[in-house]
Amino acid sequence: MTVPSVTLNDGNTIPQLGYGVFKVPPADTERAVAEALEVGYRHIDTAAIYGNEEGVGAAIAASGIARDELFITTKLWNDRHDGDEPDAAIAESLAKLGLEQVDLYLVHWPTPAQDNYLHAWEKLIELRGAGLTRSIGVSNHLVPHLEKIVSATGVVPAVNQIELHPAHQQRDITDWAAAHDVKIESWGPLGQGKYDLFGAAPVAAAAEAHGKTPAQAVLRWHLQKGFIVFPKSVRRERLEENLDVFDFELTADEIAAIDAMEPGDGTGRVSAHPDEVN
């Protein structure tokens, strides 16, 4: 099993499938990440706010895997956009992770009411220049936020990590990203288990046709659309299942049927609207 790599707009590469650790309790994180590394994951997505960077770091250190075989992402939290706070925040994250550099550092939310995401982006450009992160990107940025940071700095984020699953596809953002060579990372790729995604007819039919599980069919949909994904689970069998998605391909019709699952009234979002997180 080989996870394909995606080349970012800065020339760096990222494994298209990884392991996300949102809501993995700090006390379980070292074990869960160690298991993920054992079953073959090489890309881990964490964040300062998840409170589990130390567990991620402990698992990396114990794994003996060469640093350049791993891709580690963490994120700047919302209350640390101002002044030199981003410098302190990344230093703390690196210390917890036991790393000298992360592979990708993201502005976690634009927090538009604070109106300081442009400053945060300018700081990330500096942090990349200082070698503390190889790539920089954003998360939960809507098109106006993206337009603002790119027109002010001329630096296009490598990725935008957004809520994305069949009921919430954010086509305005994915279209903008395609036009500007920004890769999309789908968070909540399985809808966070908050609606009956696996029982939906297009997903169930695709899974059955290929002898795979509904979760595998949905992950395949993300991958074939070019999105980067890092589903979360703390169960070894699901870690294995979610990685075992490179031996089949959905047909164009199966993809179109899943595309058509998004409700037209925009009610498919399962988490917060970025304008309301401040």
Among positions 230, 254, 257, 268, the unique one binding ligand NAD when judged by CB under 6 A: 230
Work out which of 22, 195, 246, 248 binds ligand NAD, going by CB under 6 A: 22
101-140 residues near ligand NAD, rule: CB under 6 A: 108, 139-140
- The reply, when asked if residue 81 is annotated as ligand binding, is no
Is residue 50 annotated as a catalytic residue, yes or no?
Answer: yes
Chain centre to alpha carbon of residue 135: 14
CB atoms within 10 A of CB 164: 24
The CB-of-242 to ligand NAD minimum distance in angstroms stands at 5
Min dist CB 140 to ligand NAD, Å, is 5
Q: Which stretch binds ligand NAD (CB under 6 A): 30-38, 64-72, 185-193, 259-267?
A: 185-193
Q: Of 41, 50, 105, 117, which is the active-site residue?
A: 50
15 binds ligand NAD (CB under 6 A): no
End-to-end, the C-alpha distance of the chain in Å comes to 41
Query: Interface residues with ligand NAD (CB under 6 A)?
Result: 20-22, 45, 108, 139-140, 161, 187-193, 215, 230-233, 238, 241-242
Catalytic residue numbers read 50
